[in-house]
Amino acid sequence: MSLLTIMPSGKTIEAAEGQTLLELILAAGESIPHKCDGNAKCGSCHIFVQAGRKSLSKISPLENEKLDSIVGVGSKSRLACQSRITGTEDINVELLGFASGF
């Protein structure tokens, strides 16, 4: 079990192994676009992982391909729907504006 902090609200939620960041962010009551319902097809769930990358599943070729097509992607970018909790280190993510990923 690790703790997920969601910025900019600062909301914190417990994260269990196997859950995705998208599931957790929605469960915390935050709004995050997820147009393709978690299939790595739309890129709208693009977020920045500011801390705790080691607690997340590795970027798959599919996710990598989608990230490559998004404007504003950086070294901390992930697709929330493709990032699964795999470790116990606390995680800090930053939600982006609705302009990202379209």
The contact mask relative to ligand FES for 29-68 (x = CB under 6 A, - = no) is: -----xxx-xxxxxxxx--------------------x--
> CB of 101 within 8 A of CB of 43?
yes
User: Closest CB to ligand FES among 15 and 25?
Assistant: 25
- Tell me the C-alpha distance between 28 and 56, whole Å: 18
Locate all alpha helices (DSSP H) within the chain, ordered by sequence: 21-27, 61-68
Minimum distance, C-beta of residue 84 to ligand FES, in the bound complex (Å): 12
- Rg of the Cα atoms in the chain: 12
Give least dist CB 59 to ligand FES, A. 13
For the bound state, the minimum distance from the C-beta of residue 33 to ligand FES, rounded and expressed in Å, comes to 7
| Distance separating alpha carbons of residues 67 and 81, to the nearest angstrom | 12
Residue 78 interacts with ligand FES (CB under 6 A)? no
Residues at the interface with ligand FES (CB under 6 A)? 34-36, 38-45, 66, 79, 81
